[in-house]
Structure 1
Amino acid sequence: MKAVVQRVASASVEVDGRTVSAIGPGLLVLVGVHDLDTHSDADYIKFDKWACVYWQVMQKNFEVLLVSQFTLYGILKGNKPDFHVAMGPDRAKSFYASLVERFQRSYKSEAVKDVALEEPCEEMEREEQVNLVNDGPVTMQLESPNSSRNTNGAAEEKTVNKE
């Protein structure tokens, strides 16, 4: 699982010109779910794992906007994007919903908002826009340690020494 975390003065998501979620000062968290991710990956990404940011958010009463972003696991094959390593939309919806619940339990549920953007398709029928005003150049990238996967989606091989 990958997350790109940006401290923002404000952030919102619009679908077809209508705002579907918005926050004031806080964190915008773009979340990519890999096809092989498990709940231990979600536990790593959940909010209380980032102690320094967590305390700043709590002290300033910040809001958090989670945005599902399958493109974080996109790769280029020639000149075409390929999202085969991203979790499929059917599984990803419930997995992402469980991540949102983890964030809400680790902070204040009313301060955690979310948006699940559409899966890739040949022709996007909806127009989706993520708007943000950065609060300083504060951006962090997180990837769960269990998610040490290469761009082809193969899990990193690990050998166990039994001596």
Structure 2
Amino acid sequence: MRLVIQRVLHAEVQVDGNTIGKIGKGLLVFVGAGQNDTKEIADKYLRKLLGLRIFEDKNGKTNLSLKDVDGELLIVSQFTLYANCKKGNRPSFIEAGEPHMAEALYEYMIEEAKKSVPVVEHGEFGADMKVSLLNDGPFTIILDEKIL
């Protein structure tokens, strides 16, 4: 599993010109599922994501979590996080999870996040999405199997 996490002041995702997910202050998270990912792995990533202390406290230190700042969450599927560019110039996506499995894990992460975060918005799996955001910092973190 791979996550790209961006601290944002606001973000939204559109499909066919319609906004389907929109948040204020919080985290925009791009999620890619790999071939061997499971619900247990998704749980591990979600715990890490929700526990990250990447918001500033009153002293300007990155010491607060999403929950501490009443932040919102926008989760967007992105299989291209598994792009392999080692050979040639055209990326290969053979390491990405099979679509049916990846979609199930993506939906699982959304439902599990809703148990802890009051505002959880999301994109549409497999759709041509347009994502806009105002990055705060900028502050971007990548979580993958090398880190967890």
What TM-score do you get using the length of structure 1 for normalisation?
0.75
How many Å apart are 1:92 and its aligned residue? Answer: 1.3
Mapping of residues 32-51 of structure 1, within 5 Å:
32-47=32-47, 50-51=51-52
Partner of 2:10: 10
Partner of 2:124: 116
* Matches of 1:72 and 1:94, distance apart in 2: 17
Mapping of residues 70-89 of structure 1, within 5 Å:
70-76=79-85, 77-89=87-99
Q: Is the 8 A contact 2:54 2:65 kept in 1?
A: yes
How many Å apart are 1:59 and its aligned residue? Answer: 2.3
Q: Is the 8 A contact 1:31 1:70 kept in 2?
A: yes
Deviation digits for residues 112-152 of structure 1 (CA, Å, limit 9, x no counterpart): 1111341xxxxxxx6421101011121111114698xxxxx
Q: Is the 8 A contact 1:93 1:116 kept in 2?
A: no
**C-alpha root-mean-square deviation of aligned residues, in Å?**
2.2
Q: Is the 8 A contact 2:3 2:144 kept in 1?
A: yes
Structure having the higher helix fraction is: 1
In structure 2, stretches of 5+ residues that fail to align are 56-63
What TM-score do you get using the length of structure 2 for normalisation?
0.82
Q: Is the 8 A contact 1:9 1:24 kept in 2?
A: yes
User: Would you say 1:68 and 2:77 are equivalent positions?
Assistant: yes
Residue type matched to 1:136 in 2? Answer: G
Q: Is the 8 A contact 2:27 2:71 kept in 1?
A: yes
Residue type matched to 2:131 in 1? Answer: V
* Matches of 1:64 and 1:86, distance apart in 2: 23
Flag the structure with larger Rg.
Answer: 1
Q: Could you say what secondary structure the match of 2:123 adopts?
A: strand
Partner of 1:93: 103
* Matches of 2:147 and 2:137, distance apart in 1: 31
Q: Could you say what secondary structure the match of 1:75 adopts?
A: coil
| Bigger Cα displacement from structure 2, 86-95 vs 25-34 | 86-95
Percent identical: 37
* Matches of 1:43 and 1:144, distance apart in 2: 13
Q: Alignment length, in residue pairs? A: 138
Q: Is the 8 A contact 1:4 1:139 kept in 2?
A: yes
